[in-house]
Amino acid sequence: MSRFSDFLWGRPPACLLRQYVLAARRTDRPPQAESLPGKFFFCFFLLASTLAAAPADWIWSARYVITEDPQRRVIENGAVAVVGDHIVGVGTKSEIDAKFQAKQRLDRPGAILAPGLVNTHTHAAMSLFRGIADDLRLQDWLEKFIFPAEARNVSADFVRWGTRLGCLEMLLGGTTTFTDMYYFEDVAAEAAKEAGMRGVLGETIIGFPVADNKTPADALQYTERYLQRFRNDPLIVAAVAPHALYTNSDETLKASRALADKYGVPLVIHLSETKKENDDTEKARRMSPTKVLDSLGVFGGRTVAAHGVWLDDADLAILKARGVGVAHCPSSNMMLASGVAPVVKMLEMGLAVGLGPDGPAGSNNDFNLFEEMDLAAKLQKVTTGDPRALPASAALEMATIRGARVLGMEKEIGSLEAGKRADMILVRTDRPNAVPMYDPVSQMVYALKADDVRDVMVNGKVVVRDSVIQTLKQAEILQKAAEYRVKISASLK
Ligand SMILES: [Zn+2]
């Protein structure tokens, strides 16, 4: 065959024809294509179908594609085609193979292909404090351990290595977007970009001197420089993160909102995490934290509120009216005995509710969204006494498309649909915990583990391949974590 026909022969529609011709050749009769008109028709069809196949950079295929699209389609023997940073096609493998000719492909015929998971609340750099002080009350944990440990150890270097460690764990476990609040968040953003991970990353503003800023005014200026630097970044949404109502003045909270609005970015804040926080606010101001923040105008633009454990009906109505997204953190709420957020009610009201591991230092200790899905569903069941309260489908939505809504990014991420950013994961289903499989959605929530994630793509780039990180130096990060452990332990003596 000529080089041109050889080129055509390898193309997907041509593959079908090749099968036909080979089958015909196996019979004694010469195939119809051997006649002159037949040859002409054959070549015409071959050329037309080849020209019809659009170029793509990647095709990923799997036994099931969980799309989280508006119809919540689960496609058996499905595939997704990617061009550059976005998805161009989602369908059955044969449909996608007929429509697209990909430069590279990854076929996992036994796996589940799903949207990348969306973490709506965490503190990635605190991974270096993992396990520093467990089994304590929130206020004791914060005041006796975390705040002193942070005062003595947090630096730009700490945030760089801690965020690298956090991103490493998150990406290997299928999280493709994370929402962060910490200090030196510009450095966290550099680390996230290096990891190839998407992030909504908020610089923390707090009413006492911390590692990067000594006053809230300094923190606001620092944040503004950070917002300017990461404007229009393809992976990073720089955000403003006043820590909480109880750690900031009203003036700082109002200034934080104004700054977020000036740059059109989200504001990230902790809200009604503990009963004490609510009781103290009620006592001092005769209002719930939600009402106070609303009266200050803090919810006047895109807001992500973490926890929302102690919210009454009036609070929920305010959050709904203002379009505030809630980051539900079941592991953290359980570990710190903070309580159970009224998630079923939030979902019934149509609030945007996502999942966050929070932590990881004493308020969870890992960044595992598979675990958060599982616990979110089970926590509502045990609290309401109804196993139907929060089904697997709702838990998976919270970790994907609803989580994207919390961040105001539902048009870009959270589902596998043409036009959206190519953030997706392939999860293996050949381990003992994964067989047999009757329902892939249920399997994702109740049976599969973060460790089952095999391949991860963020923004069209493969960042995990065969469970190996492609973007970060894993051995070096683990070594640095061990070094920080020695330094941090010594600082607390
Ligand atoms: Zn938090």
- 330 CA → ligand 1 middle, Å: 12
- 123 CA → ligand 1 middle, Å: 6
How many Cβ atoms sit within 10 Å of the Cβ of residue 313? 10
- 275 CA → ligand 1 middle, Å: 16
- 365 CA → ligand 1 middle, Å: 12
- 364 CA → ligand 1 middle, Å: 10
Q: Give the pair of three-digit tokens for residue 452.
A: 């089952």
* pLDDT value of residue 327: 98
CA-to-CA distance for 403 and 334, rounded, in angstroms? 20
Q: Does residue 28 surpass a pLDDT of 50?
A: no
Q: Give the pair of three-digit tokens for residue 274.
A: 């503990």
Q: What are the angstrom distances between the C-alpha of 458 and each of 53, 87, 341?
A: 24, 11, 31
pLDDT tens digits for range 31-55: 444 455 555 555 555 555 556 799 9
- 205 CA → ligand 1 middle, Å: 13
Q: Which residues contact 365 (CB under 8 A, 6 or more apart)?
A: 130, 131, 134, 335, 359
* pLDDT value of residue 39: 59
- 125 CA → ligand 1 middle, Å: 12
- 121 CA → ligand 1 middle, Å: 6
Residues forming beta bridges with residue 238, ordered by sequence position = 201
Q: How much is the pTM?
A: 0.90
- 493 CA → ligand 1 middle, Å: 26
Q: Does residue 3 surpass a pLDDT of 70?
A: no
Average pLDDT over all residues of the chain: 91
* pLDDT value of residue 416: 99
Q: Does residue 24 surpass a pLDDT of 80?
A: no
DSSP 388: T
Going through 133-256 in order, the beta strands assigned E by DSSP cover 175-182, 198-205, 236-242
How far is C-alpha 464 from the chain's CA centre? 15
Cα(first)–Cα(last) distance of the chain, in Å? 77
CA-to-CA distance for 111 and 303, rounded, in angstroms? 36
**Helices 250-263 and 216-229: angle between axes, nearest 10 degrees:** 10
Rounded to an integer, the average pLDDT of 413-438 is 98
Place of tokens 């006043």: 242
- 76 CA → ligand 1 middle, Å: 38
